[in-house]
């Protein structure tokens, strides 16, 4: 007969202070490896004071190496750093500096992609850097342990450990909404960088501009999974299509409680600057029910359909608008734009 499996032996072991330090060291090792993908992006202007502290510099933020296509490195960063810059400089982990070129940016989320020619980077530096892995942030829940790298405190290559305190909040931007991760990690209002999971994969893009006023002192990040489409488009030099509406999904419950048609509810229309939505006469409280004749029921569907279009393309929107006690169906032909 077959030999019986021996019973497992369990030994109770009390954790010691040293064990805590060992765990900390392991967490920091993940952060140190992640920092190989981090760079400092400087938007150079003629009036820069090079003796400014990094904490005070509006012209610096961390960037993340997201691709090497054989000709250039592609770096993900925030557009605000390079606004009005006369030149862009990329500083790598070994302090080598190379010139960067703006490839494309999204005026909506504030994300920019910078390219650096491989010819401008030494072999030594290429051996010390890594391309970051963008992970699955849809699995992130309250209590998930994360590590902040980049410049969460305003100083590049800091490593901060903590946990996700909320993964259920969303923020509306024009034509989309994104999941916001809040953390218990102390940060700076000028903090930038990314959150990585325990596998060292990027799960959040630190963007303090999206934190609520009360959360300015803890790090806030956008869920990376929802940004992958935009990051891919910008990396390929493609402009991000724009209509200029803030939207939310009319769920079954909302439709029942408020007597609204099912579809995508327009919370507001961009009117401070001309937008395609404003140009054709879309209004707050309209409900979009179809795009080019195809039914849309959620913000995700709306965003996906819009992002599949090209700027200057025509888009037929079918909208329900309240007229007295009833809703009437209207059609609008909008020209897709780009938000500068």
Question: Full-prediction pTM beyond 0.75?
Answer: yes
Nearest to 151 by CA among 240, 87, 66, 64: 64
Q: What is the pLDDT of residue 325?
A: 87
pLDDT value of residue 48: 64
pLDDT of residue 56: 47
Tokens, residue 252: 């079954």
pLDDT at 51: 60
- State the pLDDT at residue 55: 46
Low-confidence ranges of the chain (pLDDT < 50): 54-56
Give the pLDDT score at 210. 73
């Amino acid at each position: 007969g077959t030999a019986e499996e021996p019973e497992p032996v369990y030994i109770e072991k009390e954790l010691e202070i040293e064990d805590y330090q060992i765990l900390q060291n392991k967490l920091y090792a993940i952060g140190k490896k992640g920092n190989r993908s981090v760079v400092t992006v400087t938007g150079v202007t003629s009036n820069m004071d090079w003796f400014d502290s990094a904490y005070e510099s509006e012209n610096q933020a961390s960037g993340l190496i997201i691709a090497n296509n054989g000709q250039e490195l592609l770096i993900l960063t925030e557009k605000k750093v390079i606004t009005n810059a006369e030149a862009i400089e990329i500083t790598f982990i070994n302090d080598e500096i190379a010139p960067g070129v703006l490839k494309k940016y999204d005026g909506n989320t504030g994300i920019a992609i910078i390219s650096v020619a491989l010819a401008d980077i030494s072999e030594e530096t290429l051996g010390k850097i890594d391309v970051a892995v963008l992970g699955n942030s849809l699995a992130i829940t309250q209590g998930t342990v994360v590590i902040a790298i980049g410049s969460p405190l305003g100083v590049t290559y800091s490593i901060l450990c903590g946990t996700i305190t909320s993964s259920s909040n969303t923020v509306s931007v024009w034509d989309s909404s994104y999941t916001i991760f809040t953390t218990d990690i102390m940060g700076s209002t000028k903090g930038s960088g990314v959150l990585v999971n325990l596998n060292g994969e990027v799960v959040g893009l630190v963007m303090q501009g999206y934190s609520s006023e009360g959360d300015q002192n803890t790090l806030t990040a956008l869920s990376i999974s929802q940004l992958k489409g935009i990051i891919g488009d910008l990396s390929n030099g493609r402009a991000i299509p724009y209509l200029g509406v803030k939207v939310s999904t009319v769920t079954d419950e909302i439709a029942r409680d408020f007597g609204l048609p099912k579809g995508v509810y327009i919370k507001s229309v961009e009117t401070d600057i001309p937008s395609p939505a404003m140009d054709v006469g879309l209004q707050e409280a309209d409900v979009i029910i179809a795009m080019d004749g195809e039914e849309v029921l959620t913000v995700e569907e709306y965003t996906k359909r819009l992002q599949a279009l090209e700027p200057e393309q025509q888009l037929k929107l079918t909208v329900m608008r309240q007229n007295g006690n009833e809703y009437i169906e209207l059609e609008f032909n909008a020209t897709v734009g780009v938000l500068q």
